[in-house]
Amino acid sequence: MGLTFGDGPLSPRPPQTVNYDVDGPAHKLFMQPFPRRVRAEFAGRTVLDTRRGVLLHETAILPQLYVPEEDLDTAAFEPTDHTTHCPFKGDATYRSLKVGERAVPNALWAYPEPIATAPWLAGYAALYWSAADAWYDEDEPVVGHLTDPYHRVDARRSSRHVRVLAGDTLVAETRAPLLVSETGLPNRFYLSPDDVVVPTEPTATRTVCSYKGEASYWSVRLPDGRVLTDAAWGYPQPLAEAGALTGRLSFLHDDLRVLVDGEPA
């Protein structure tokens, strides 16, 4: 969640446990250089290639990559009449992305004349993540979106006693979980499949985490015949930074309780 969500200093509700005040508007902007090369491809063509990108951190919004106009393939973008107004940045103009027969309307935006409090936006443009077919951080494919340098995912081996219950029915139990702490989120405990004592069934559900990879989901079948859909998830092939999660499962469902050393997780 980084700087702009949860209890981050630029979030809508910054923490009270500080010895300073964050002076300024309720909606805050913070731009900083992104230190690596980023490319975007569309219809087999590189339409964005930058070593000078910046991340704009904005209250309650995921960091957005902005790049110098010179780092765009200008032939792939066509101006449109669409405009929007942001009270914190100014009036945005838009361009459509078009290569051959393929087009994405209003895929790129910029602030040619930003307001006086954000003059550093001039000369930069931003492309919607969903507009491109593929993004690359250096030569690594980007999963979801660029990672926030202020967001961490830490996996630690633990000896805590973790029990997963459906009512009084034991679903899983371990004294060797993997504890995953992720910025702005509650701790999650990942268990070995050998710790699960009821049948699990894979589902078609998939989600993507830019820090962990693509998650698969499983339903849990209880002894009384009930099936709790998508009650467990895991990362069969996590990103390299989250390799410790390989093959493990975590549980979350309205009909499940996760107890850690006898207390609700």
Label residue 213 exposed, middle or buried (CB < 10 Å: 0-12, 13-18, 19+). buried
Domains in the chain, start-ordered, CATH in brackets? 29-141 (2.170.150.40), 153-264 (2.170.150.40)
Q: Name 43's Cβ contacts closer than 8 Å, sequence gap at least 6.
A: 99, 100, 102, 133
For residue 124, the 8-state DSSP code is E
For residue 252, the 8-state DSSP code is -
Q: What is the pLDDT of residue 63?
A: 94
- Closest of 151, 152, 143 to residue 239, by C-alpha: 143
How far apart are the C-alpha atoms of 93 and 109, rounded to whole Å? 6
Residue 242 in this model has a pLDDT that exceeds 90: yes
Residues of the chain above pLDDT 70, percent: 100
Q: Which amino acid is at 30?
A: F
In the sheet that holds 162-166, the strands lie side by side as: 169-174, 162-166, 257-260, 263-264
Q: For the chain, give me the number of helices (H) and strands (E)?
A: 0, 22
- Closest of 86, 85, 82, 84 to residue 95, by C-alpha: 82
Residue 1: band (very low, low, confident or very high) from pLDDT cuts 50, 70, 90 = low
pLDDT digits 0-9 by tens, 24-70: 788 999 999 999 999 999 999 999 999 999 999 999 999 999 999 99
Residue 105: band (very low, low, confident or very high) from pLDDT cuts 50, 70, 90 = very high
Q: Name 164's Cβ contacts closer than 8 Å, sequence gap at least 6.
A: 170, 171, 172, 173, 191, 251, 256, 257, 258, 259
The neighbour count for residue 68, using CB atoms within 10 Å, is 14
Average pLDDT over residues 87-91: 96
140-144, 170-174, 220-224: which has the minimum mean pLDDT? 140-144
pLDDT digits 0-9 by tens, 108-134: 999 999 999 999 999 999 999 999 999
Is 203 within 8 Å of 177 (Cβ atoms)?
no
Collapse the DSSP code of 217 into the 3-class scheme (helix H, G, I; strand E, B; otherwise coil) and give the result.
strand
Collapse the DSSP code of 263 into the 3-class scheme (helix H, G, I; strand E, B; otherwise coil) and give the result.
strand
pLDDT digits 0-9 by tens, 173-205: 999 999 999 998 999 999 999 999 999 999 999
Is 5 within 8 Å of 60 (Cβ atoms)?
yes
How far apart are the C-alpha atoms of 257 and 251, rounded to whole Å? 9
Angle at 210 between CA 37 and CA 127, to 5 degrees: 50
For residue 70, the 8-state DSSP code is G
How far apart are the C-alpha atoms of 200 and 164, rounded to whole Å? 14
Average pLDDT over residues 97-118: 97
Residues counted in the chain: 265
